[in-house]
């Protein structure tokens, strides 16, 4: 109770943002802090491991002659430009099957071990098959087009390919809410009521149509509180997970949605498409300039005729995976930058600093709340719980200094404690 007293005493004179931040952090039970740290740190290593596993798989497929035999088989029965398509399809299918054990562990076993998943194996596997079928179709066609480009342009394919990749990503983002997301979840308009009124007010103040706010059954897969902005142009919408709707208070939901509206208003989707073009251009250039060297150095038995030869696809993917694994921190920092901007926007739009702070606590059931600076820099794609609460409390202090009145921190702290009491009770009854 000591910290509460400090806050109560502070409020009589001036609001102490540092003490309030600490009081929020202290509501998280030590046991949970340890469990989430184990989950999140493991996840970082597993991301790295999946990159290494892919590199090993591609290397083995080259080394045992699988790639060259597959190419020869398809090229015997059809022209080279056409033979590439079934080659790509089979190669990606084989790589997917080989990575299945790791995907199963990360996506199913581990999520259940940390109480984050709600699906049985059948449900999970169905989603897994759907996702991979869609991925296989899209990646086969796009790699086929990329190889046509490589063979046609020879030296400048990597620039044109990166721009084409950006266009494809834009198309996928646009199609996703209409054609892809409904394969996994049901989306319905948010019901009329106080919450919708509040969200519509924020949406109207931000200049976006509130008809684009929908609810989806996130609880079919996960216990995580989720919301997102998806789509592009005419398909843009803000989706609110039912997990958020069921568990969070109105202040919390408003603060989350104002954050999502921030992504929308600040044009983050468009910026991400440009970022993708840059990432692809550097990656393709890296592949273009290292392919010949790697083939000469290691490929004595691979019989790859050059970068345009489809038998070199595993080497192409190996080099690209190496690049993108090294780039994880760059991508994380890019995403975190947008998240911080959306946080700042969301605080101004929703004016719910305590709702924002307790949401950061709720999210700390799967994201480490206080990572070290280096850990946050390298591995986190969102600001840490602590920095988010700090931002909210500093914002609140500014508002109070400007004359806003406040009684909410104590109430919100009680709510913060009850978040963890509820989850402890649920654990006890399970």
Distance, CA of 349 to CA of 273 (rounded, Å):
25
DSSP one-letter string for 314-370: HHHHHHHHHHHHHTHHHHHHHHHHHHHHHHHHHHHHH--HHHHHHHHHHHTTTS-SS
Asked if 237 contacts 214 with a C-beta cutoff of 8 angstroms, the reply is yes
Q: Least separation, in Å, of the C-beta of 121 and Zn ion? A: 31
Q: Which is nearer to Zn ion, 140 or 272 (CB)?
A: 272
Q: Which is nearer to Zn ion, 157 or 264 (CB)?
A: 264
Asked if 210 contacts 192 with a C-beta cutoff of 8 angstroms, the reply is no
Q: Which is nearer to Zn ion, 280 or 342 (CB)?
A: 342
In the complex, the residues that contact Zn ion under the rule CB under 5 A are 339, 342
Q: Least separation, in Å, of the C-beta of 391 and Zn ion? A: 13
Q: Least separation, in Å, of the C-beta of 203 and Zn ion? A: 16
Q: Which of 268, 267, 428, 255 is nearest to 352 (CA)?
A: 255
- Angle made by CA atoms 196, 201, 205, in degrees to the nearest 5: 145
Distance, CA of 202 to CA of 386 (rounded, Å):
26
Q: Least separation, in Å, of the C-beta of 311 and Zn ion? A: 42
Q: Least separation, in Å, of the C-beta of 260 and Zn ion? A: 7
Q: Which is nearer to Zn ion, 215 or 342 (CB)?
A: 342
Question: Cβ neighbours of residue 157 under 8 Å, at least 6 residues apart?
Answer: 146, 149, 150, 284, 288
Asked if 287 contacts 315 with a C-beta cutoff of 8 angstroms, the reply is no
**Token pair belonging to 229:** 């902005």
Q: Which is nearer to Zn ion, 105 or 337 (CB)?
A: 337
Q: Least separation, in Å, of the C-beta of 266 and Zn ion? A: 10
Q: Which is nearer to Zn ion, 226 or 295 (CB)?
A: 226
């Amino acid at each position: 109770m000591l910290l509460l007293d400090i806050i109560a005493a502070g409020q009589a004179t001036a609001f102490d943002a540092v003490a309030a931040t600490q009081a929020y952090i202290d509501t998280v039970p030590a046991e949970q802090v340890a469990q989430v740290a184990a989950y999140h740190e493991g996840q970082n290593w597993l991301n790295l491991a999946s990159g290494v596993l892919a590199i090993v798989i591609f290397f083995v497929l080259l080394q045992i002659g699988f790639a060259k035999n597959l190419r020869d088989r398809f090229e015997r029965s059809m022209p080279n430009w056409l033979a590439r398509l079934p080659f790509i399809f089979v190669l990606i299918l084989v790589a997917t099957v080989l990575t299945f054990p790791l995907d199963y562990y990360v996506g199913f076993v581990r999520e259940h071990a940390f109480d984050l998943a709600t699906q049985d194996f059948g449900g999970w596997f169905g989603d897994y098959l759907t996702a991979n079928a869609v991925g296989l179709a899209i990646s086969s066609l796009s790699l086929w087009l990329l190889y046509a480009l490589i063979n046609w342009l020879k030296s400048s394919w990597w620039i044109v390919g990166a721009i084409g990749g950006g266009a494809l990503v834009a198309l996928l983002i646009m199609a996703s809410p209409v054609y892809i997301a409904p394969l996994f979840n049901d989306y319905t308009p948010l019901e009329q009521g106080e919450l919708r009124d509040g969200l519509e007010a924020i949406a109207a103040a931000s200049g976006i149509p509130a008809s684009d706010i929908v609810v989806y059954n996130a609880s079919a897969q996960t216990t995580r509180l989720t919301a997102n902005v998806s789509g592009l142009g005419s398909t843009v919408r803000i989706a609110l997970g039912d997990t958020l709707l069921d568990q969070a208070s109105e202040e919390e939901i408003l603060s989350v949605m104002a954050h999502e509206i921030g992504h929308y208003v600040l044009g983050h989707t468009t910026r991400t498409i440009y970022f993708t073009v840059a990432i692809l251009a550097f990656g393709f250039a890296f592949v273009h300039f290292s392919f010949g060297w790697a083939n000469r150095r290691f490929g004595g038995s691979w019989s790859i005729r050059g970068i345009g030869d489809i038998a070199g696809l595993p080497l192409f993917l190996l080099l690209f995976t190496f690049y993108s694994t090294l780039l994880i921190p760059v991508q994380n920092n890019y995403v975190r930058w947008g998240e911080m901007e959306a946080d700042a926007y969301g605080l101004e739009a929703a004016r719910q600093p305590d709702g924002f702070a307790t949401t950061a606590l709720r999210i700390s059931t799967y994201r480490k709340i206080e990572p070290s600076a280096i850990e946050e820099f390298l591995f986190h794609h969102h600001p840490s719980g602590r920095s988010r609460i700090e931002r909210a409390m500093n914002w609140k202090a500014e508002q109070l200094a400007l004359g806003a009145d406040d009684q909410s921190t104590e109430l919100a702290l009680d709510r913060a404690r009850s978040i963890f009491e509820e989850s402890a009770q649920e654990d006890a009854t399970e």
